[in-house]
Amino acid sequence: MSRSPVRDFVVGLFVLAGLAAIAYLSINVGGLSYNGPGGLTLYASFDQTGGLKPRAPVVISGVKVGQIAGIELGTDYRARATLDLDAKLALPTDTTASIQTAGLLGDRYVALQLGGEEKTLKSGDEISFTESAVILERLIGKLVHNAPGPNDTTE
């Protein structure tokens, strides 16, 4: 049990390396961040979420600006998503939220397209313009049958 300071140093390095690996995985890969809810909370209702999940990213021009905090069924039986966004964003009141797919097999996410209005959305506001998710099967069904889609609210 020789008390070697070199050994202790090596053990210290090992522990640091391990903790660094854990930190890298948590923050860079897993997306852990220590700021709380972004600050700007908006709501958007969709006819079809197409599998949009909580914690899915919200992007503007391809850059992540927040995430979906939750999705629930609204009083109008549409899907109401809560968007948790960066507080510094200034979004015009005619901003559009659309559900997109990342790649062919990818996950759903929400993309925001800015409008032109002067006034900006405040925390708690509703995004009026939304585009629901495209369901692949219906699209193919339309092509195949070359007929209008089903009579209830369409995509």
Partner 1 sequence: MRAIQDLGFAVLRFVVDLGALTVFTLQVIRATLVPPWRFRLFVDELFKLGVLSLVIICVCGLAVGMVLGLQGYNTLVRFGAAESLGAVVGLTLVRELGPVLTALLTTGRAGSATAAEIGTMVATEQLDGLRMMSVDPIDLVVTPKALAMIAVLPLLSALFIVCGLAGGYLVGVGLMGLDGGNYLASLQSAVDFRDDILGSLLKALIFGVLIGLIATYRGYHAAPTSAGVSAATTSTVVVTSVSILIFDYFVTALWGV
* Full strand arrangement of the beta sheet holding 108-113: 126-127, 39-46, 79-86, 63-73, 57-60, 108-113, 96-101, 129-131
Neighbours of 107 (CB within 10 A): 13
Q: Are 103 and 71 in contact (CB under 8 A)?
A: no
Phi–psi pair at 117, nearest 5 degrees: -65, 155
Single residue of 5, 36, 106, 148 touching partner 1 by CB under 8 A: 106
Single residue of 5, 28, 34, 146 touching partner 1 by CB under 8 A: 28
103 or 148, CB closer to partner 1? 103
Q: Are 60 and 112 in contact (CB under 8 A)?
A: yes
The gap from C-alpha 31 to its chain's centroid, in whole angstroms, comes to: 12
Single residue of 17, 87, 139, 140 touching partner 1 by CB under 8 A: 17
| 19 contacts partner 1 (rule: CB under 8 A) | yes
| 154 contacts partner 1 (rule: CB under 8 A) | no
Least Å distance, CB 97 to partner 1, is 19
| 37 contacts partner 1 (rule: CB under 8 A) | no
Interface with partner 1 (CB under 8 A): 1, 3, 7-8, 10-11, 14-15, 17-19, 21-22, 24-26, 28-32, 55, 57, 102-107
